[in-house]
Chains A and B, each alone.
Chain A
């Protein structure tokens, strides 16, 4: 299958290893990966901060960038949820009926990584090897908007060497919430503190999730505390194989950009 990869603005700019891992993983599973060069952002940050008018050209760019793609995969529950639930609505409100229909059709072809692997490709064992103690945080939008359910856990359970530990109060938000983390920094931090306490209670080396944004939040907190527990995106774990493991690797990302 020819898969168009939507890296997302955040991953592309500050966590390129996540998109690289997604590409490597899909290639290893025998698929051709293309990266449409016109891609930028899904528009979610603008919509969720109140700039829905300003989001219109961003969404239009996204629809243009992926116009020819058969199937689009993205390593983000949140951005895919925005593509599914917000893009057409924002365009429609701005009177862009034609574009809204295109956005809807594109959303139909757009999949979050774990859903693509389990539902479209029908695989749970992707042949990964990751000899670390890992806990999984289900991000809010993947959980409640996309309903990914236990797909990421199915994938993680099939990873050889991986010791999966359950995260207490896993379904509680980590407090990121996009601009919420800045506008309501104190409340966001209080939520993060409780999330970190739960993560640390598992004694995991790695906290993983399907969204680089939430992981940047949790990881930023864990790093500030010098906790030793690191955040690694689900795609990076699934892309990891025996070859990638070295004495130096420990819990750092398996695939570097």
Chain B
């Protein structure tokens, strides 16, 4: 069975929505006012505050360096890692090229196995479909497997508005939910919290620690914290009639969905309740069962730094008398088709959400995930979020990178993130309807740098900067913007009397 929800008015296109040269197809981007793809501040503003949070810096520095070392070790022991990466990339490329056919194949297969497929154009549609499905069961609460897609669309808030309580069951996601916080990492949503902070959140919010007779003895040992979460969650697993999950992969050939995880909470959600609703971005597809071979090797080593993840659950449709008896698959676009239309940017859809790029990123390591304002932080977020929302809605993100390239090296499907960042910067610049002072400067510089004589004059003018130094080896530390961005924390050398080309010409008698 297949349902198509009634279509509301088309989502207006955000200004500067992804477009590529002349192939702009006018595809809708993720709508405003719903979900978590946009921050309320620009990246530099949010980062400025985060950088001053010493506890955050310490927590992130410790966590990312630990995961980095683990990943490097297990990736280093695979002799054909580079071939695997290239295989992953090739599979994703060919999948994206046939996404339309493969999605229909997936729908047919899921339907044939007793599942129901729903097509959601955007976050609003997906939230409406899931809410309606939960309401139809009569349940007023659901258990959730950690899922980026449902974070992206703000499903928990939508359910809450309909009087349905969503219980996150992934440990880190639970910490974030109990702490009334937002996830800051794709894999480890509570990476910004340390053990002591987690203990405090548990003691303050878990029912088992409330009341006059409660045993509030909870040391901040990982084992004891996990045990507390287990007690808290077990009751909810056993009670729940509806579960909501995301999906790591979907096999078009067989209609199989796959979730990989470390804690076993996913397996509980996927097997215990009567009804299972899976929300999946349309790019999560692989053509055949065999293709999982590549990704199930790439993903755990890149994400948790494990050779294999502890739990891999796969299911296709429903099996009478075993597991959920009702299965719904919600296929989510929410701007993905618009990303697919961009020849350069579409590579971002290859992402398998391992978060290796976050862990190696020197910017992420210092600013943390919240600075990005989107559920997709770090390098991949800086290319994915602006494309899903339209570049102008996340215009500062493509600039939130020094283009050091560590993300590209770490990516298990070899997404050339730096090149996409540079591409999106250009999309932003080209979307400006008014001429900015920066554009004036860059155009003038372009003119100078393409006419040698003009360039020599420009260099001479720059050399006059030495007059500001009044004979000192560095320029004054207080210079007007935008140079102040540099001179606030670094000295600028006093320009020399003579450029190299001048000196060379003088020596060689020109």
A interface residues, Cβ below 8 angstroms from B: 7, 9, 11-20, 23, 35, 37-41, 43, 46-55, 57-58, 60-61, 65, 86, 93, 140-141, 143-145, 171-173, 175-192, 194, 216-217, 219-221, 223-224, 257
Contacts and interface: CB of A to CB of B under 8 A. Distances in A.
A257 B503 contact: yes
A14 B474 CA distance: 12
B48 A186 contact: yes
Given A180-B401, A184-B43, A61 B488 contact: no
A31 to B, nearest CB: 15
Interface of B: 21, 43-44, 47-48, 51, 362-363, 366-367, 398-406, 408-409, 422, 425-430, 438-439, 442-443, 445-452, 455, 459, 462-463, 474, 477, 482-483, 485-486, 488-493, 495-496, 498-501, 503-505, 508, 510
B485 A48 contact: no
B422 A57 contact: no
B140 to A, nearest CB: 44
A54 B446 CA distance: 6
A12 B459 CA distance: 9
A256 B75 CA distance: 46
Tell me which of A54, A86, A143, A216 has the highest count of chain B C-beta atoms within 10 A of its own C-beta: A54
A186 B42 CA distance: 13
Nearest to B454: A40
Contacts of B400: 184, 187
A61 B403 contact: no
A78 B164 CA distance: 54
A190 B503 contact: no
Contact of A19 (B405, B442, B449, B500): B500
Contacts of A14: 462, 493, 495-496
A73 B451 CA distance: 22
Contact of A145 (B405, B445, B449, B462): B405
B459 A13 contact: yes
B360 to A, nearest CB: 9
A186 B366 CA distance: 10
A68 to B, nearest CB: 15
Contacts, number: 204
A41 B404 CA distance: 20
* Ranked 3 nearest A-B pairs via Cβ: A177-B402, A220-B490, A50-B425
Given A190-B51, A191-B363, A55 B499 contact: no
Given A9-B449, A13-B462, A183 B399 contact: yes
Given A7-B501, A182-B486, A51 B442 contact: yes
B489 to A, nearest CB: 4
B342 to A, nearest CB: 13
A16 B500 contact: yes
A46 B500 contact: no
A257 B429 CA distance: 38
A114 B400 CA distance: 30
A191 B446 contact: no
B442 A173 contact: no
27 contacts: A16-B498, A16-B503, A20-B504, A35-B504, A41-B455, A48-B422, A54-B443, A57-B446, A57-B449, A57-B450, A93-B21, A140-B402, A143-B405, A173-B362, A177-B401, A178-B403, A179-B399, A184-B43, A186-B44, A186-B47, A187-B47, A187-B366, A188-B402, A191-B402, A220-B493, A224-B490, A224-B491
A221 B490 contact: yes
A158 to B, nearest CB: 26
B404 A144 contact: yes
B404 to A, nearest CB: 4
B498 A257 contact: yes
Given A183-B485, A186-B48, A192-B490, A51 B446 contact: yes
Given A40-B450, A224-B491, A185 B362 contact: no
B403 A177 contact: yes
Contact of B500 (A51, A179, A194, A257): A257
A88 to B, nearest CB: 13
A189 B422 CA distance: 21
Contacts of A180: 399, 401-403
B59 to A, nearest CB: 15
Contacts of A17: 496
A15 B362 CA distance: 27
Contacts of B451: 61
A238 to B, nearest CB: 17
A144 B450 contact: no
**For B443, B448, B499, B510, which residue has the most chain A Cβ atoms within 10 angstroms?**
B499
Contacts of A43: 449
- The residue in B43, B44, B462, B510 that gathers the most chain A C-beta atoms within 10 A of its C-beta is B44
Given A37-B510, A65-B452, A93-B21, A13 B499 contact: yes
Given A12-B459, A93-B21, A184-B44, A50 B426 contact: yes
Contacts of B505: 35, 37
Contacts of A178: 403
Nearest to A55: B446
Contacts of A171: 406
Nearest to A14: B495
A216 B399 contact: no
Q: Looking at B21, B489, B498, which has the most chain A CB atoms within 10 Å of its CB?
A: B489
B453 to A, nearest CB: 9
A187 B51 contact: yes
A186 B447 CA distance: 31
B318 to A, nearest CB: 48
B432 to A, nearest CB: 10
A41 B398 CA distance: 24
Contacts of B402: 140, 173, 175-177, 180-181, 188, 191
Nearest to B490: A220
Contacts of B448: 40
A16 B496 contact: yes
A182 to B, nearest CB: 4
A190 B422 contact: no
B87 to A, nearest CB: 22
